[in-house]
Structure 1
């Protein structure tokens, strides 16, 4: 604690001032006050040896009275450190609000994407073309972000960056294409129930290619996930093998992408942060998938082709397809922004909650008939995903012990 000095006038102080004034030919100028940045602490020089002036924060200084409090450099440093804590609290609040906003946008864009995408795929059953269109819109948005200076452009050679990320882009392309095939074949809720099996594929691929052996709690957490998906699948009214196998394939490819990212990605290389990495992957995915879409499905995304198919409102379908493409890029971009700010485990938990929200919203919007067994199986699977996230969070503490 810093002492508060007494300011009681001492006896004979007037005589002391008169004698000091008589002994000097002229009044010495007082040096300007010094201020320590970030605090209210003020240190002033003394115009006379027997004067006593108050310091900021209730501190006093005197060369005559040894009992008076003195501001030492250590005390000044303590005050500066205490004052520096205040912006951190504000920054913490700002960070929490920013994260809350990002999570809200992540969920909102994902819900809108699934709704618009399902509406389009029901009327326009060409999932490869739709996926290529979504990559095209994402490529335009990423290029606009760089041109407008909203984010720093990637450094280094463009071709080299694209070649480095091409393995990730290939599995990213395949995973999104298979997801759209599943969404076009079965209900949105069922596709996301199947995609709850992602942790199982993550454990298997990590064990095979990275040599990471799962712990017993991790394996135990996979049991309700697998059991819940099986229970939900056997009672799914919209079940088709096409929708089921394509959703399983998307799980395999997306988790392969995560494993590849650990083996091929180099961190801290110039400005290739997660946002630029995702943007480059999106552009490469568009270049990879567009020729495949034209060869397999043809040039079908035109008003004339849609009218020939018997689609009553081609322009409405095209509008929803563009909106789905914008939401597709936006929710994945926000997901990468969140991943920059939180740990992978926190991101995984947020993704689990997001899946619950998407399943519930799709059932409400499309009013798909669901059985009680289907709901119970989905709930068990999602509870298992949450348990898996919790187990992964405490895994480092177990290792440290």
Structure 2
């Protein structure tokens, strides 16, 4: 009896010693591994790992040291295995293709907007009227889109319109100042100055959102400011009106972005990014009409245009196309922003600016000196560096 007790206690001690490192699993069946402990990062293995491949069956408990991890015989693959992976690959390919098309349309519409805009402003120096006309064409497009159910009409209340109104104001002013700059200086120079958008973003975010920039963000602004200054010194079409108009455009457009973060708009399901921009466009039109009548009067009538010796069909068509392209590239930009991160969107915007500058120089045959090209390149490189720094900061946070 005594020896039996000793044998029993020694067996229990041995079992306790063997099970010491796995004391937390003492209540579980020792003949099966815990599926919760077999989670691996996605993408680590190119095949699906079956938990059953690491299990064994036994009628009696055995120490873990005796468990064999030898591979089990291969079994037939069922129809359900790998279905997610085979379906995900075409889905990812389709999404990449759609994004590529959207980026191409974004760049193409932006190029044509700047070309048609510049052509109109060369012979029709009334940027306030042109801004109103562009917003009017955009508003007509929005209404047709809603009437034809091309996009679902939003259900919005007056309480939702109030916080959107400041966004519409700065949006209208941003387009107005852009047109003023395009009417006075070359398209390439306007977009070189507009490369300073990150500078205004950092400044306004610090002032109104309390988002203090890191040292690396501040360092990335140095080539942006320096490059714009270098390009301005040697710009053949330089004048202060065009320079400050482009700067004001930067300020207003970046104010719109900051206000979008600061103002919390309670959206309904139908008020997505496209509808939000559409409402901003219509409100901007209502704000611009009285300002246009006060500043420039009714300068887009056929009689007034004929007094300038302009071809009515040609000027109306180019004004229509500039407004259509402006609204189209803004809508596509919002569609892209809904699919990717803001930092990736800003990198795409930097590339877009390069494409617009090169296209405008080739189309209008704008004379550019080597120093001017260097300044433009340095400024755009700074914008790209700023985007990369923001991406690193967003990943680390």
Report the count of equivalent residues.
Answer: 326
For the residue of structure 1 that corresponds to 2:82, the secondary structure is: helix
Confirm or deny: 8 A CA contact 2:167 2:280 kept in the other structure: yes
For the residue of structure 2 that corresponds to 1:299, the secondary structure is: coil
TM-score by length of 1: 0.78
Report the Cα distance in structure 2 between the residues aligned to 1:267 and 1:85, rounded to whole angstroms. 37
Give per-residue Cα distances to partners, 1:23-80, cap 9 Å, x unaligned: xxxxxxxxxxxxxxxxxxxxxxxxxxxxxxxxxxxxxxxxxxxxxx9999xx97xx63
Q: How does 1:1-400 map to 2 (within 5 A)?
A: 80=80, 82-157=82-157, 159-266=158-265, 269-311=268-310, 313-399=311-397
TM-score by length of 2: 0.79
Per-residue deviation at 1:269? 3.1
- Relative to 1, partners in 2 of residues 1:368 and 1:87: Cα closer, same or farther, differing over 3 Å? same
Report the Cα distance in structure 2 between the residues aligned to 1:262 and 1:240, rounded to whole angstroms. 34
Give per-residue Cα distances to partners, 1:163-192, cap 9 Å, x unaligned: 231010011111110000000010000000
Report the Cα distance in structure 1 between the residues aligned to 2:177 and 2:395, rounded to whole angstroms. 37
Report the Cα distance in structure 2 between the residues aligned to 1:96 and 1:317, rounded to whole angstroms. 38
Report the Cα distance in structure 2 between the residues aligned to 1:152 and 1:113, rounded to whole angstroms. 26
Report the Cα distance in structure 2 between the residues aligned to 1:374 and 1:192, rounded to whole angstroms. 13
Per-residue deviation at 1:162? 2.7
> Which segments of 5 or more consecutive residues in structure 1 lack a partner in the other structure?
1-68
Confirm or deny: 8 A CA contact 1:162 1:284 kept in the other structure: no
Report the Cα distance in structure 2 between the residues aligned to 1:353 and 1:133, rounded to whole angstroms. 28
For the residue of structure 2 that corresponds to 1:80, the secondary structure is: coil
Give per-residue Cα distances to partners, 1:115-148, cap 9 Å, x unaligned: 0000000010000000011110111111111111
Report the Cα distance in structure 2 between the residues aligned to 1:97 and 1:70, rounded to whole angstroms. 38
Confirm or deny: 8 A CA contact 1:162 1:281 kept in the other structure: no
For the residue of structure 1 that corresponds to 2:313, the secondary structure is: helix
- Relative to 1, partners in 2 of residues 1:324 and 1:154: Cα closer, same or farther, differing over 3 Å? same
Confirm or deny: 8 A CA contact 1:127 1:184 kept in the other structure: yes
Report the Cα distance in structure 2 between the residues aligned to 1:183 and 1:117, rounded to whole angstroms. 8
Per-residue deviation at 1:396? 2.5
Give per-residue Cα distances to partners, 1:252-290, cap 9 Å, x unaligned: 111111110001143653321110000000000000001
RMSD: 1.9
Report the Cα distance in structure 2 between the residues aligned to 1:170 and 1:156, rounded to whole angstroms. 19
Report the Cα distance in structure 1 between the residues aligned to 2:395 and 2:325, rounded to whole angstroms. 38
Paired position in structure 1 for 2:48: none
Confirm or deny: 8 A CA contact 1:197 1:229 kept in the other structure: yes
Answer with 300-309 or 378-387: which moved more.
Answer: 300-309
Report the Cα distance in structure 1 between the residues aligned to 2:112 and 2:346, rounded to whole angstroms. 20
Per-residue deviation at 1:82? 2.2
Paired position in structure 2 for 1:47: none
Per-residue deviation at 1:300? 1.1
Which stretches of structure 1, 4 residues or longer, exceed 6 Å deviation after superposition? 69-72
Per-residue deviation at 1:303? 2.1
For the residue of structure 2 that corresponds to 1:341, the secondary structure is: coil
- Relative to 1, partners in 2 of residues 1:70 and 1:111: Cα closer, same or farther, differing over 3 Å? closer
Per-residue deviation at 1:212? 0.7
